[in-house]
Chains A and B, each alone.
Chain A
Amino acid sequence: DGGITQSPKYLFRKEGQNVTLSCEQNLNHDAMYWYRQDPGQGLRLIYYSQIVNDFQKGDIAEGYSVSREKKESFPLTVTSAQKNPTAFYLCASSLGDRRTTDTQYFGPGTRLTVL
């Protein structure tokens, strides 16, 4: 079945450590996105990529980094510079590169907790 997978489902990090969240899709979608979700808030865009080897900052990119070396993969690194990283992280993808209008499809999410 086609879809988006995220791993791990739960992740614990000590302060000062960098961690990488995995996102893979087999939908042959061009665009991929990372969102952060906090309780009582909507989703906020961290980074997006419309094509391989290119990505753009979203609304809350500080303390995060990404790469897009393959069409199907878009890993997110939460660095030690991110002051409040505990959150639920969602990866999404869309068919075309029209990030503003194409339907976005979501993975199951990764819950990151900083100890």
Chain B
Amino acid sequence: AQSVTQPDIHITVSEGASLELRCNYSYGATPYLFWYVQSPGQGLQLLLKYFSGDTLVQGIKGFEAEFKRSQSSFNLRKPSVHWSDAAEYFCAVGGYGQNFVFGPGTRLSVLP
């Protein structure tokens, strides 16, 4: 069965600093990978997704993620964090014959 881990429960960064959120997955075949963001009390918004092709994918709000098959990782990055990026971030993996599996989330706090 597939699984997703997000090793960091909570990360705090200063505004303007760079950001990397980690995501590791376990899946036997080609994964379909997603990053979502959730503001408090809101639904999830899709940031970006990877299905195939270029392993570096660009998303909305200046986010990007890199798929590394050898490390089973799909880390999310942003070069300069804005205060409005404070939220919870979820990594998810899908694949043929398997329901989506979501990671437990990483809560991002941004210091002024």
Query: Residue A29 at the B interface, CB < 8 A?
Result: no
Residue contact A108 to B46, C-beta cutoff 8 Å = no
Measured in the bound complex, the distance between the Cα atoms of B12 and A45 in whole Å is: 29
Is A101 engaged at the interface, CB distance under 8 Å to the other chain?
yes
A42 contacts which chain B residues (CB < 8 A)?
A: 4, 90, 92, 101-105
CB-defined interface of A28-54 with B at 8 Å, one 1/0 digit per residue? 000000000000111101001000000
Stretch among B37-45, B56-64, B74-82 lining the A interface = B37-45
User: Which residues of chain A from 1 to 43 have a CB within 8 Å of any chain B CB?
Assistant: 4, 6, 40-43
Contact partner, B45, options A58, A99, A106, Cβ 8 Å: A106
A107: chain B residues at CB < 8 Å are: 43
In the complex, A6→B104 CA distance in Å?
A: 23
Across the A-B interface, how many residue pairs have beta carbons closer than 8 Å? 60
- Residues of the B chain whose Cβ atoms lie less than 8 Å from the Cβ of A99: 99-100
Per-residue contact bits, chain B 29-55, to A (CB 8 Å; 1 contact, 0 not):
000101010000111111001010000
Chain A: CB-nearest residue to B49: A103
* Inter-subunit contact B96/A109 (CB<8 Å): no
- A12 CA to B95 CA in the complex, in Å? 36
Please tell me if the beta carbons of A103 and B46 are within 8 angstroms of each other in the complex. yes
**A45 contacts B43, CB within 8 Å?**
no
Q: Verify B100–A104 contact, CB threshold 8 A.
A: yes
* B100 interface neighbour in A4, A6, A40, A100, Cβ under 8 Å: A100
Chain A residues with a Cβ under 8 A of chain B: 4, 6, 40-43, 45, 48, 58-59, 90, 92, 99-109, 111
